[in-house]
Structures are given as C-alpha cells and as structure tokens.
Amino acid sequence: MISTTAGKPIALSETQQVDRTTGNLATKKIWLPKLLYDLLPYFYLVSGFAAFFATLYISEWFWVLPHYLLFSAACIHLGALVYRRRRSAMPKSSSLDQS
C-alpha cells in the first residue's frame, strides 16, 4: 500500500458520532427473564384493553381519545400477534404421547 493514499484518518462529524453510538444501542439484544418473556403478550393485551376502557371514562379531554384508541389498538394487535406466533411455534403433542 502506498503511504500517501491512506493519509490521516478523517474525523467523524457530530451527527456521525451520534449515529455511531446510538446504532449499537438500537441493535443491542435485550435478554428478559423467562417469566417476563412468557407474560409479554398478556401484558400487551391487558394494557390495550385498559387503554380502551379508559377512553370510556374520559369526558373532558377529547384530544386524548385518539391517542388512547391508537395505543389500545396497537397493543391489542401486537399482543395477539405475539401470542399467535408463539402458539404456532410450539410443537404440537400428538395423541400417542398422551397415552
């Protein structure tokens, strides 16, 4: 390699520095205890239904209603999706194993 081609390393700009550090944080794997991992879809469903029923009791703050409804729909959808995927990924026990 020719020594003049490499030159000095280019310093990263502030935006590139932030992107460099947050990219690792955003892609970092999160390990949950098994109990929390198993309860996650139920937490999504409960929080979604709680937000939905909370909209029934909001009478004066009409600007909050769409946010509550959007949050409840997203939580219920996410909870049902995670639950269905986990149920389909579980191995089905055959009738021969039960006898």
Q: What residues does each domain of the chain span? A: 31-90
Q: Name residues whose C-beta falls within 8 Å of residue 41's C-beta, 6 or more positions apart in sequence.
A: 79, 80, 82, 83, 86
pLDDT tens sequence across 13-50:
766 666 556 666 667 777 888 999 899 999 999 999 99
Residue 78 has pLDDT above 90, yes or no: yes
- Let me know if 83 is exposed, middle or buried by CB neighbors in 10 A (0-12, 13-18, 19+): middle
The overall pTM is greater than 0.75: no
